[in-house]
Structure 1
Amino acid sequence: MAISRSRLLFVFPLLVLLLPLIFSVSNLHRNWITEEPKRSPSKKLDHLVLGPAAGQGLPNRLQCQGLKAMNKIGTSNANLYSSGTVSFVTVFTIYNSSLKSDSTGMDDKLSDAVTVGNISYNKADRSMAILNAFINFIQVSMPRSNVIILTDPTSTFSLRQTNAAILSIQGDYSRGYLMLQRIKSYIGFLEKQLEENEVGLKGFNHFIFTDSDIAVIDDLGYIFEKYPHFHLALTFRNNKNQPLNSGFIAVRGTPDGIYKAKIFLQEVLEAYSSKYMKASRMLGDQLALAWVIKSHLPFAVKKFSRHEAFMGEVSGIYVLFLPCSSYNWTPPEGAGQFHGMPLDVQVVHFKGSRKRLMLESWNFFNSTSNLADMLCLVLKSGRTKYDF
C-alpha cells in the first residue's frame, strides 16, 4: 500500500528531529561499555579474618568466647582402643615447581610467596608444610600411630618426623590423573600388605587412607572395636551428586579386611575408568564411589541425609558408613554454614581453599597446646581469601 504524501510530510520532519538523539544515545551506550572499569581480582589476605562462630546457642555445638572454647570437644577415645595399631596412608608427590630467576639473578616469582606466621613459603614449600602439619596433628592425637606416604618413585622429598615413612609405588602421578592414580596406589599398597601376610610377617595393623590436608583431633582407633564387623569404612554427607567423600577410607587390617577392601576399590577404579574419566582431575573418584554404592545399596541414599553411622553389604564386603559431620568435617566458607561444629568432631578436612587455615591452625595449637581453642579459630575463620 502506498504511503500518502501527507503522511510522509509528517514523518520526515520527525525523523530529522529524532536521528541526532538516537546517535547520541548509541554513542553514550558504546562509551559506557568501553569505559566501564574492569574489576580487579580479589586479593588474598595475609591473615585470617575472624567473625562470629557459627552454632552459638545451639545444642551439641562448640561454643566459643573469643578464641576460648567454652565446652569440651571430642571424646578422648584413646582408652577405648587397645588391639593392634593404626597407620595413616596418604598419596603425595612434589611437582617440578623450581623457581626461575631473571637475568639479574632475582627471583621472578617472589610475588607468589606466601607468609604464614614468620615463615615464607613458595609453592613447593607450601605442599611440604601441609604434609608436615598433617603428620604433626596425628602425632599429637594418636602418638602410637605412624604415617605412610605413597609417592611417585621419581619424586624426591624428605621427612623429619620419626613416625612417617615414604613408600614408592609406580604410576602416573601427573596432576590430571592424580585422583585416578590415588586409587591405583591404594590398591597397590593393599596388595603389598597381602603379600607380607603370605610370607608370615607378624603384626596387626589397621589402615586409614586420607587426604594430606586433614587434622586428626582425636584417637580414631576405637572405630575398629566399636564397629567390629566392617571391612571398609567410608564417610558420607547429604549431597545428592557427591554423597561420599574419598578423603577418609578406613580398612580393617585383617587379611580378610585387606582383601575385601582391595576388591571394593578395584570396582571403584573400574567405574572411574569407564564412566568418569572426563572428571579425572577432580571429583572422578567420588562420582565412582557414589555409583558403586548406589548400584549395590540403593537404600543408602535415604540414609545419607541423616547423621548416624550405618552398615551395608556390597558383594560380601561389609561397608561402614560414617557421617562426615564427625569424621570428615570441613570448615565453613560462610557464616552459619553447617550450623557450627559438632562436639563429636574427630577429623577436620581443610580441603579446597582452606590450606592456609590448616597451617594457621597448627601454629595456633603450637602456641596454646589446646585443640579445643584451636577449633574456635577454625570455626571463626569465616570466608577469608586464605587459600594458597
Structure 2
Amino acid sequence: MAYPGKGKWKWKCMRYLALIFIMTLLFSGFELSRIGNSKSGGRQQKFHYLALGPAAGQGLPNRIQCQGLNAIKKRPLPSLSGLTLVNRKISFVSVFAIYNQSLQTSVQRASTNVTVGNTTFDKIGRSMEILNVFANFIKVSMPKSNIFILTDATSNFPAVPSNAAVMHIPGNYSRNNLMLQRIKSYIDFLEARLSGNIWKQNQVEHFIFTDSDIAVVDDLSHIYEDYRDFHIALTFRNNKHQPLNSGVIFVRGTVEGVSKAKAFLEEVLEAYKSMFMKAARMLGDQLALNWIVKSQPLFDVKRFRAPKAFVAEVHRTRVLFLPCSIFNWTPPEGAGQFHGMPEDVKVIHFKGSRKRLMLESWNFFKSHPVDFSDMMCLILKSGRTKYDF
C-alpha cells in the first residue's frame, strides 16, 4: 500500500541526514582547530624555517607577478649615475639597541639560535645581522648614502656595518621605553645638526629616519626633488585608528626643514608623554602622530583613503604624506586580505616576526644579485607566515 507523501517524506529524511553529516564534519574541523590552537597558546604556529605558499596578488593590475620564485617583470638595480643628485647627500638614521648583553653566556641554548642559510645566529648575533642586512640593502639601492646608528651611551656593538657610524645619545633605551626614546633621540640628532653649523654653500644633507628592520629596494633621493615644498614626510595607510606609521620619516636637510621637523617631533613627544604613556612600548608614537595631525582643524582625514601623496600644513609645518603601499610596505602576517606587492614598492618593512623573512630575503638575494625582483617573489610566497622572531 502506498502512503500519500511517502516519497516526499523520504527525501526530507535524506536531506536531514546529509545536513547532520555536514555539521559533524564542520564540528570535527572546529575541534581540531581548537585543540591545535590550545596547544600553541591560541596563536598561529611560528615556523623556524622558510615556509612557501602561493604568491599573492597574481592576476591583479599593478602588482608584482611571479612564476614560482621568478618575477615576470624585472626591476634593474639603480645605476650609480642616477643616484643622489649632485650636492645632495642622503643619510639614513635609525635607533638600535642590543638587549640582555650582561645576561649572555658563552653557551647559548639551542632554542634561542636561528639558522639562515648556512649561518646560525645567537640572540645578539641575529640582532646584529638584522642591522647588517638593513645596511646592506641600502648599500645596494643607495650606495652613496650614509647611515647613523643612534644608541645609548654604554652600548658596545660587536661590529658596525662599513657604511654606518654610531652616535651615542644618552637616554632610556629599555624595551618598554624604546618607542618614546626613539623620538627623543631623533630630536637630539636634529638639534645636533642645527647646533653643529654643518651647512655649506650649495650643499644639503637630507635625512631619512627609519626602523632598522626595513629593506630599501629602490632609490629614495628623488623624493626631495619631486616634492620641493615639505619639511617632514610621513607614511600613511587606510587605517581608521592608526593611519600613520613612524617606521619611515623623511626630513628635508635645509636649516628651515630641520628646524621645522624638530619642532614637529617635539609636539609629538609632548602628546606622547601626556596621553599615550600606557603604550610606551609599542604604538604610542603612532597614536601621538595621529593625534597631532588629526587635531589640525582643517585637516581632511578622508585623504588617507586613497594611496596618493599629498602635502598639508600641520602646526606650522609642511608635512608630505606618502602612501605606505610604496614607501613603507609590510608583508601581511597570518590570515586576512592580501592583494600582493605593488610593482613600484620602494621600502619593505619586516615588522615583528617577519624579521626572519628579512634575513632570508637578503640570503636569497646574495645568490641572485642581478635585481630585487625574484627576491620580492620570495617575500610574496612567504609573507603570510609567522616566523620564530
Compute the TM-score of the two structures, normalised by the length of structure 2.
Answer: 0.84
Give the AA of the match of 1:92.
F
Gaps of 5+ in 2: 1-34
Distance 1:122 1:297, change over 3 A: farther
In the alignment, is residue 67 of structure 1 matched against residue 66 of structure 2? no
Corresponding residue of 1:58 = 60
In the alignment, is residue 94 of structure 1 matched against residue 95 of structure 2? no
Give the AA of the match of 2:67.
Q
Contact 2:84 2:144 in 1 (8 A): no
Of stretches 370-379 and 320-329 in structure 1, the one that deviates more from structure 2 is: 370-379
Give the AA of the match of 2:111.
S
Corresponding residue of 1:33 = none
Q: How far apart are residue 171 of structure 1 and its match?
A: 0.8
Q: How far apart are residue 199 of structure 1 and its match?
A: 8.6
Contact 1:75 1:344 in 2 (8 A): no
Distance 1:91 1:319, change over 3 A: same
In the alignment, is residue 111 of structure 1 matched against residue 114 of structure 2? no
Corresponding residue of 2:7 = none
Runs of 4+ aligned structure 1 residues displaced above 6 Å come to 198-202
Equivalent pairs counted in the alignment come to 349
Measure, in 1, the Cα distance between the counterparts of 2:36 and 2:57.
Answer: 40
In the alignment, is residue 378 of structure 1 matched against residue 379 of structure 2? yes
Contact 2:331 2:384 in 1 (8 A): no
Q: How far apart are residue 385 of structure 1 and its match?
A: 3.1
SS in 1 for 2:246: strand
Corresponding residue of 1:273 = 273
Measure, in 2, the Cα distance between the counterparts of 1:165 and 1:100.
Answer: 25
Distance 1:153 1:99, change over 3 A: closer
5 Å-filtered alignment, 1:88-167, equals 88-98=92-102, 107=107, 109-167=109-167
Give the AA of the match of 1:219.
D
Corresponding residue of 2:234 = 234
Give the AA of the match of 1:149.
I
Corresponding residue of 1:82 = 85
Q: How far apart are residue 46 of structure 1 and its match?
A: 2.8
Corresponding residue of 1:18 = none
Measure, in 1, the Cα distance between the counterparts of 2:162 and 2:200.
Answer: 26
Contact 1:332 1:338 in 2 (8 A): yes
SS in 2 for 1:127: helix
Measure, in 2, the Cα distance between the counterparts of 1:156 and 1:40.
Answer: 40
Contact 2:56 2:339 in 1 (8 A): yes
Measure, in 2, the Cα distance between the counterparts of 1:38 and 1:386.
Answer: 16
5 Å-filtered alignment, 1:284-299, equals 284-296=284-296, 299=299
Contact 2:108 2:122 in 1 (8 A): no
SS in 2 for 1:385: coil
SS in 2 for 1:322: strand
CA RMSD in angstroms, aligned pairs only: 2.3
Contact 1:54 1:337 in 2 (8 A): no
Q: How far apart are residue 162 of structure 1 and its match?
A: 2.4
Q: How far apart are residue 48 of structure 1 and its match?
A: 1.3
Corresponding residue of 1:322 = 322
For each residue in 1:300-327, what CA deviation from the matched residue of structure 2 results, as whole angstroms up to 9, or x when unmatched?
3101110100000023211000000000
For each residue in 1:251-308, what CA deviation from the matched residue of structure 2 results, as whole angstroms up to 9, or x when unmatched?
0000000000000000000000000000001000000000000011653310111010
Gaps of 5+ in 1: 1-35
5 Å-filtered alignment, 1:29-44, equals 39-41=38-40, 44=46
Give the AA of the match of 1:204.
V
Corresponding residue of 1:360 = 360
Distance 1:63 1:37, change over 3 A: closer
Of stretches 309-318 and 132-141 in structure 1, the one that deviates more from structure 2 is: 309-318
Measure, in 2, the Cα distance between the counterparts of 1:38 and 1:355.
Answer: 23
Measure, in 1, the Cα distance between the counterparts of 2:89 and 2:116.
Answer: 34
Of stretches 250-259 and 117-126 in structure 1, the one that deviates more from structure 2 is: 117-126
Distance 1:380 1:231, change over 3 A: same
What percentage of aligned pairs have identical amino acids?
62
